[in-house]
Amino acid sequence: MTGTDDDFKIELRGDVTVELVKHSAADSDVLFAARVSTVGEQSLDELKKDPERSKGLINYLMRDRHGSPFEHNSMTFFISAPIFVFREFMRHRVGWSYNEESGRYRELQPVFYVPDTSRKLVQQGRPGKYEFVAGTEEQHQLVSESMAESYRGAYRTYQQMLEAGVAREVARSVLPVGLYSSMYATCNARSLMHFLGLRTQHELAKVPSFPQREIEMVGEQMEAAWAELMPLTYAAFNANGRVAP
C-alpha cells in the first residue's frame, strides 16, 4: 500500500524495497573453494565437466555442514524498509557489512510504514508460543489512521526544530521507528543462509522460525535474488532443511 497525506505531505507505504546492486556469487565459487583442499586449483572448464559431481559435492558440503566454502562469494543489496526492520537486521553480524543513511548528515524524508490489509494484526497465546491472526476491518482502519496521525505530528515537530536551527542529529529524536531508512547490506551465501533460516518461514525448514512479517518480506526478496545466482547451493539449502552449514 502506498499513499500520500495531502495535509502534511507524508508518504505511507506497506512494502519494502530490495535490489541486488552488485555481486560476485556463483555455485562455481563453492566448488573452487572446496576442491582446492584436495586437488588444488582448477579452471572453470574443469568444474563444468561433471555437473552431477559438482551438484553432489555441494549437497555433501551442505549436509555435513562444511561451511567455509560457502563464504567465498559476495552479494550487495540495497534495502529500503522501516527502521524497526533494520534494528532486527543488526542482530546478524557475522559475515555482514552495513552502511545505512544517516539522520545526522541529511534531512530525513517523510516516508512511513503502515501495514496493508494482508498483515496479520492480532497476537494470540503466551510469549514463546503464540500466533498472529488477521485483524478486523475496524482494527486495520484504527491502525492506519492512528499511525498516519502520529507520523504527521512527529514529522511536523521534526521540521519545526530544523527550521529553528536545531541540529539534525537532535531533531531526529522525535521520529518513530516506522520511518523508512535505506542501507547497503553485503553478505555471503553462508551468512545469508543463517539469516533466511531465522527470518523466513518455510515448509522445508527443519527448525521452525517465527519472524516478524516485515523482515520476512525483505528476506523473501533477498532469497529470490540469491536463488538465481547460486541455484545448486540454493537447492541443497532447501534439500537439507534450510539449516545453514
- What local confidence, expressed as pLDDT, does residue 6 receive? 46
Selecting among 13, 190, 199, 242, the annotated active-site residue is 199
Phi then psi dihedrals of residue 181, to 5 deg: -125, 175
List the chain pLDDT tens, one digit each, 245 residues.
444 444 568 999 999 999 999 999 999 999 989 987 665 555 555 556 778 888 999 999 999 999 999 999 999 999 999 999 999 999 999 999 999 999 999 999 999 999 999 999 998 887 767 788 998 999 999 999 999 999 999 999 999 999 999 999 999 999 999 999 999 999 999 999 999 999 999 999 999 898 999 999 999 999 999 999 999 999 999 999 999 99
Helices 231-239 and 51-63: angle between axes, nearest 10 degrees: 40
- What local confidence, expressed as pLDDT, does residue 38 receive? 60
The H or E element spanning position 19 is strand 17-24
Q: CA-CA distances (angstroms) from residue 167 to 111, 121, 151, 182?
A: 20, 36, 20, 21
- What local confidence, expressed as pLDDT, does residue 42 receive? 57
Q: CA-CA distances (angstroms) from residue 173 to 9, 77, 156, 162?
A: 20, 27, 13, 12
- What local confidence, expressed as pLDDT, does residue 77 receive? 98
Contact by Cβ (8 Å): 125, 214: no
- What local confidence, expressed as pLDDT, does residue 230 receive? 97
Cα atoms in the 13 Å half-sphere on the side-chain side of 71:
9
Cα atoms in the 13 Å half-sphere on the side-chain side of 130:
13
- What local confidence, expressed as pLDDT, does residue 9 receive? 86
- What local confidence, expressed as pLDDT, does residue 207 receive? 93
Spell 219-239 as b/e; 16+ CB within 10 A means b: bbbbbebbeebbebbbbbbee
Helices 51-63 and 27-39: angle between axes, nearest 10 degrees: 90
- What local confidence, expressed as pLDDT, does residue 40 receive? 53
Distance, C-alpha 48 to centroid of its chain: 32
Number of H helices, E strands in the chain: 9, 9
199 is catalytic: yes
Contact by Cβ (8 Å): 187, 95: yes
Threshold 0.85, pTM exceeds: yes
Neighbouring-strand partners of residue 6: none
Q: Where are the alpha helices (DSSP H) in the chain?
A: 27-39, 44-48, 51-63, 83-89, 137-163, 168-171, 189-199, 213-229, 231-239
